[in-house]
Amino acid sequence: MYLLNLLIKNPMLRTLVAIIPMAWGLVVLDFFGIDLGFRNSDGNITDNGKVITISMFIVIGVYIFLTNWLVPLIDSRKNSKARIRETLNALIKSIHEISGVDENYISASLFFAFDGNRDNCQYVVTSNKPGLQQNIILNEKGSFGRYLLDDSPHDFELLNDVKSEGELKGKYILNSRNKEMFEITKKYGSTIGLRIIEHPDNQAYGTPSIQAVLFSSTFGYEIANDSIELKREEVKRLIERVILPPIVMQIKTELTILHKATLGPFRFLRKKSVVSQFREGQTT
């Protein structure tokens, strides 16, 4: 594990680990080639020597390729999700500051899918989990995530009462935390959601390369409530225009890193032509 961490953090070390054995192997072949049967008496490389030399270069080449893609890939995924989680925690603190709701009753989460594959969505959540499985949040009819991705005319939505403004209108599915807190406070809570869509090469057509929904929910307490002076529209405007922009910018950066990592080193082979993207956009 210690060596793996060194390899992750030090690309020079990764290269040296490959070059030093290769250089040593060439020295051995040069000085002891005849004794080992890799060279004949005329100094020419035998067939066995050619096989060994080619195999050595292939192994070293594969090693360099993997350690300069696979190891950084593992590191980038781990670090990107950690940075997203830090951003979600910052969002929780911001919602607490404007609403007065205790942070223990606020959750924040990001659900995302790449290249239109919403059945295989990924997610990052804080310690205060949202209460529904990820496949329900993005795909289930009546869920807030599916409403935002497929039906909402706006990128940003605030449901101050998830029961009357959400469930009864087919936009939200009440989860266990909503119901548990209602028994205590007689309120189901609030939720905000922001749709994030990114297309390949910033084109406005074709299958989105990134589909994501950013959520933050309160349980048992409403974001725009009697204990704060701001009215509902002021709260909505404050969240949408002041709190979310820097958060979304950071999230988009990390999602782009994760998306490129999932495509792998041969992503250029999977890139669709502009014509095919345009045709997809006409049929979707």
What are the beta bridge partners of residue 213? 111, 195
Domain boundaries, given as residue ranges, for the chain: 2-67, 79-278
Instruction: For residue 275, give Cα distances in angstroms to 211, 267, 271, 280.
Output: 22, 18, 12, 9
- Regions of the chain with pLDDT less than 70: 1-53, 55-57, 59-77, 127-137, 200-206, 227-229, 263-284
Those residues whose C-beta lies under 8 Å from the C-beta of residue 108, and which sit 6 or more positions away, are: 88, 89, 91, 92, 95, 125, 126, 128, 214, 215, 216, 217
Q: Which of 75, 57, 61 is nearest to 6 (CA)?
A: 75
CATH number, domain 79-278: 3.30.450
CB 149 within 8 A of CB 213: yes
Q: Classify residue 148 by its DSSP letter.
A: I
Q: What is the pTM of this model?
A: 0.69
DSSP 180: H
Residue 163: the pLDDT is 95
In angstroms, the CA 19 to CA 13 distance is 10
Encoding tokens for residue 69?
A: 């893609």
pLDDT for residue 284 = 34
- Amino acid 60: pLDDT: 66
Contacts of 137 (CB under 8 A, 6+ apart): 111, 123, 130, 143, 144, 145, 146, 213, 215
H or E element in which residue 219 lies: strand 210-219
C-alpha dist (Å) from residue 32 to 42, 60, 71, 173, 281: 14, 21, 35, 74, 64
Within 1-46, where are the H helices? 2-9, 11-36
Residue type at position 239: I
Contact of 56 with 32, CB cutoff 8 Å? no
DSSP structure class, residue 44: P
